[in-house]
Amino acid sequence: MPPITCHVLDTTRGKPASGVNVAIYRIGDLPTDGDELVIQDVEPFAVAKTNSDGRVTQWSFHPNRDLTPLGIVDGSDWQTLQPGIYKIRFQTLSYFRSTAGSSDASSRTFFPFVEIIFNIDNPPDEHYHIPLLLSNHSYTTYRGS
């Protein structure tokens, strides 16, 4: 299992949100005391789609990037987690459109995507789990286990 996983629950339907497109980014280094946080404009280093249980348990890594500084070996095995500022982006508009007819009010959402930005401390914990509780007009998240 990779060191960062996530889980999306559709609270409107009371079910796991399957088929949500997800991307993960490392957007900066941890700031040192007194320093401002500097966010880098980067492409995702991996993407995934939530499974039938609404979970991402495996990432597809960017094929043309050297990911060894992120602890990803041979483009497929995420062995270690590097400290820094990370972001997970959930494509919620396409999810809600796919779960309802185009004229159905449930296909509408106030948030076309949800971005969750979080710290991976130094030294990092072994595993980070990011749950997203999602409805058409609200969401909440927390650090899971």
In order of 37, 50, 65, 91, 117, the CA distances from 132 in angstroms are: 25, 12, 28, 12, 12
pLDDT at 22: 99
What's the pTM value of the predicted model, to 2 decimals?
0.90
Burial class (CB in 10 A: 0-12, 13-18, 19+), 88: buried
SS (H, E, C) the chain: CCCEEEEEEECCCCEECCCCEEEEEEEECCCCCCCCCCCCCCCCCEEEECCCCCEECCCEECCCCCCHHHCEECCCEECCCCCEEEEEEECHHHHHHHHCCCCCHHHCCCCCCEEEEEEECCCCCCCEEEEEEEECCEEEECCEC
Mean pLDDT by groups of 10 residues along the chain of 145 residues: 95 96 93 78 92 96 85 80 94 92 73 95 90 97 93
Q: What is the pLDDT of residues 78-91, one digit of tens each?
A: 878 899 999 999 99
> What range does the domain containing 38 cover?
4-141
In order of 15, 16, 106, 123, 141, the CA distances from 89 in angstroms are: 20, 17, 21, 24, 13
pLDDT at 86: 95
Q: Which CATH number is 115's domain given?
A: 2.60.40.180
pLDDT at 101: 64
- Beta strands at 46-49 and 77-78: parallel, antiparallel or unpaired: unpaired
Could you give the number of structural domains in the chain? 1
pLDDT at 4: 95
**Sign of the alpha-carbon torsion through 25, 133, 113, 103:** positive
